[in-house]
Amino acid sequence: MITTIRTNSENQDFRELVKHLDADLEIRDGSEHAFYAQFNKINLIKHVVIAYAGKTPVGCGAIKELTSDSMEVKRMYTVPESRGKGVASKILSELEKWSAELSYKKCLLETGKKQPEAIALYLKCGY
The domains located in the chain, with CATH, are 2-124 (3.40.630.30)
* SS3 (DSSP) at 57: strand
The pLDDT score that the predictor gives to residue 37 is 47
DSSP 72-115: EEEEEEE-GGGTTTTHHHHHHHHHHHHHHHTT--EEE----TT-
Burial of 35 (0-12, 13-18, 19+ CB in 10 A): exposed
The pLDDT score that the predictor gives to residue 32 is 58
Pairing mode of beta strands 56-67, 2-7:
unpaired
Closest Cα to residue 54, out of 100, 5, 120, 1? 1
The pLDDT score that the predictor gives to residue 31 is 63
Below-50 pLDDT ranges, the chain: 33, 37-38
pLDDT digits (tens, 9 = 90+) for 61-76: 999 999 999 999 999 9
